């Protein structure tokens, strides 16, 4: 235990021949300070490189911040959205001492009414910051206007609607993630191979991601080898088992004898397990399959080598980073970058253990 001489408000006050209260006033620009005094103090602060002691400051101020989070409820189909919550809680535990309280809200992404209601509920709690996954852009837009008027800090997580602005966005660049997947297929496949791009869409919309990912995927090959693979896109709407099965069967069918069989399938979202299930039932394991996100059912297929690799969106980290961002802004008074893109992690059977957040966060 060593001691380091710390510059304090009292010390500044002494050197400026004023009282601590005056220093405090200029630090927080609370006015009521004569211009020359203010200047003198400001200079001293700069010279001494004085920074208020964060702990003492938050302790004394006793401020309490409320941050509301709004993400889809994790249903059995996709426990993806359970993970940002873990990130929220981890962050909340870390910075809770600073008077930051977390209040989670959830909605059903099949029901825009639940989203609307949640937004109303959130406003009624008068939060200082809101972290939300902006499904339903129109509803989000209305909310943003109100929030801005109230000086509420807004953070987008996972998705972003580019037409309106938020403080910061935390998520993954979908176009780039498509490129990453493409590069791996480029390594794994050979010239002339056929590859299926499968978009398994929800009828409810929110499929912008998939398009961007496909765009990135095709971009890659356009720039690095337009004739390397034969790319075909299959769009499947809805997630009825039968329909998916049927469409896949057609896509994989080899009517034209002159063509090779499909040797790679890129699924543009986390529903890749549907395809893996299909391949398993039909005993087709001689092709390279890839998709998104570490859902339990995807992981299973990854371990069985039925899925070659997955792109992870780092959902836990998304939650963590977005929550920490409000801490940095509100408490540390830092300015935030407009977008915080998280790494596009490549997950295989061999490194997945390090990406599953089964570790305890205590």
Partner DNA sequence: AAAATTTCCGTGTGCGCCCACGAAAGTACA
Partner DNA sequence: TGTACTTTCGTGGGCGCACACGGAAATTTT
List the one residue from 2, 14, 15, 24 that touches DNA (CB under 7 A). 24
Q: According to the binding rule CB under 8 A, does residue 28 interact with a second copy? A: no
User: CA 276 → CA 186, 190, 235, 287, 306, distances in Å?
Assistant: 20, 22, 16, 11, 6
Binding mask 29-68 for a second copy (x = CB under 8 A): ------------------------xxxx-xx---xxxx--
Nearer to a second copy, 140 or 177 (CB): 177
Rounded distance, CA 251 to CA 261, Å? 10
Beta strands in the chain (DSSP E): 65-72, 100-107, 129-132, 153-157, 168-171, 194-201, 230-237, 262-267, 288-292, 309-312, 339-341, 345-347
Q: According to the binding rule CB under 8 A, does residue 357 interact with a second copy? A: no
What does DSSP assign to residue 99?
Answer: T
* Residue 184 interacting entry, from a second copy, DNA, none, C-beta within 5 to 8 Å by type: a second copy
Question: In 10 A of CB 67, how many CB atoms?
Answer: 26
Dihedral angle over CA of 302, 170, 209, 301, nearest 10: 10
* DSSP H or E stretch at residue 264: strand 262-267
List the one residue from 2, 29, 35, 362 that touches DNA (CB under 7 A). 35
Question: In 10 A of CB 144, how many CB atoms?
Answer: 21
CB of 254 closer than 8 Å to CB of 210: no
Q: What's the full length of the chain, in residues?
A: 362
Residue found under tokens 């003492």: 56
Query: What is the DSSP annotation of 145-200?
Result: HHHHHTT-EEEEES---TTS--SEEEE--HHHHHHHHHHHHHHHS-TT-EEEEEEE
* Residue 17 interacting entry, from DNA, a second copy, none, C-beta within 5 to 8 Å by type: DNA
Q: According to the binding rule CB under 8 A, does residue 4 interact with a second copy? A: yes
State the minimum distance, in angstroms, from the CB of residue 359 to a second copy: 9
Rounded distance, CA 172 to CA 277, Å? 27
Q: According to the binding rule CB under 8 A, does residue 267 interact with a second copy? A: no
Stretch that binds DNA, among 52-60, 138-146, 242-250, 258-266 (CB under 7 A): 52-60
List the one residue from 29, 46, 49, 62 that touches DNA (CB under 7 A). 62
* Residue 343 interacting entry, from DNA, a second copy, none, C-beta within 5 to 8 Å by type: a second copy
Q: According to the binding rule CB under 8 A, does residue 2 interact with a second copy? A: yes
Stretch that binds DNA, among 35-43, 111-119, 196-204, 278-286 (CB under 7 A): 35-43
Look at residues 165, 166, 171, 163 and name the one whose alpha carbon lies nearest to residue 209.
171
As a whole number of Å, the CA-based R_g of the chain is: 26
Q: According to the binding rule CB under 8 A, does residue 308 interact with a second copy? A: yes
Q: According to the binding rule CB under 7 A, does residue 63 interact with DNA? A: yes
Stretch that binds a second copy, among 114-122, 151-159, 242-250, 348-356 (CB under 8 A): 348-356
* Residue 257 interacting entry, from a second copy, DNA, none, C-beta within 5 to 8 Å by type: none
State the minimum distance, in angstroms, from the CB of residue 40 to a second copy: 27
Q: Are strands 309-312 and 345-347 parallel, antiparallel or unpaired?
A: antiparallel
Nearer to a second copy, 237 or 355 (CB): 355
Q: Which of residues 207-236 bind a second copy (CB under 8 A)?
A: 220
Rounded distance, CA 84 to CA 66, Å? 18
Rounded distance, CA 67 to CA 152, Å? 10
Q: Chain-centre distance of CA 25, in angstroms? A: 39
Binding mask 1-20 for DNA (x = CB under 7 A): -----x-xxx------xxxx
Nearer to DNA, 19 or 241 (CB): 19
Which residues of this protein are in contact with DNA, per CB under 7 A? 6, 8-10, 17-22, 24-25, 27-28, 31-35, 37-38, 52-53, 56-57, 59-63
Which residues of this protein are in contact with a second copy, per CB under 8 A? 1-4, 53-56, 58-59, 63-66, 97-98, 101, 125-126, 128, 176, 179-180, 182-184, 187-188, 220, 288, 308-309, 334, 341-346, 348-351, 354-355, 362
């Amino acid at each position: 235990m060593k001691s380091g001489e710390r510059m304090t408000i009292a010390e500044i006050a002494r050197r400026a021949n004023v009282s601590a209260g005056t220093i405090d006033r200029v630090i927080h620009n609370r006015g009521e300070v004569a211009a020359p005094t203010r200047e003198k103090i400001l200079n001293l602060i700069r010279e001494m490189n004085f920074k208020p002691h964060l702990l003492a400051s938050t302790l004394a101020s006793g401020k309490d911040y409320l941050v509301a989070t709004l993400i889809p409820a994790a249903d059995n189909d996709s426990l993806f959205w359970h993970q940002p919550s873990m990130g929220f809680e981890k962050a909340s535990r870390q910075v809770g001492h600073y008077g930051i309280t977390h209040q989670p809200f959830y909605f059903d992404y099949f029901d825009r009414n639940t989203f609307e209601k949640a937004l109303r509920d959130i406003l009624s709690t008068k939060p200082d910051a809101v972290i939300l996954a902006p499904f339903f852009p129109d509803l989000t837009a209305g909310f943003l206007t109100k929030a801005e008027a109230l000086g509420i800090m807004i953070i987008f997580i996972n998705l972003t609607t580019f037409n309106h602005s938020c403080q910061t966005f935390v998520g993954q660049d979908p176009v780039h993630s498509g490129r990453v997947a493409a590069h791996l297929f480029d390594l794994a496949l050979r010239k002339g191979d056929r590859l299926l791009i499968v978009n398994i869409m929800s009828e409810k919309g929110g499929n912008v991601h998939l398009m961007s990912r496909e765009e990135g995927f095709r971009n890659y090959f356009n720039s690095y080898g337009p004739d390397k693979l034969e790319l075909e896109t299959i769009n499947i709407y809805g997630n009825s088992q039968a329909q998916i099965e049927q469409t896949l069967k057609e896509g994989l069918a080899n009517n034209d004898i002159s063509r090779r069989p499909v040797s790679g399938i890129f699924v543009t979202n986390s529903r890749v397990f549907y395809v893996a299930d299909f391949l398993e039932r039909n005993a087709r394991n001689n092709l390279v399959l890839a998709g998104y996100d570490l859902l339990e059912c995807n992981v299973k297929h990854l371990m069985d080598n039925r899925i070659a690799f997955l792109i992870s969106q780092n959902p836990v980290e998304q939650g963590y980073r977005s929550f920490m961002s409000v801490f940095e802004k509100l408490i540390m008074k830092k300015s935030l970058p407009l977008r915080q893109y998280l790494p596009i992690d490549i997950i295989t059977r061999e490194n997945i253990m390090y990406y599953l957040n089964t570790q305890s966060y205590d």
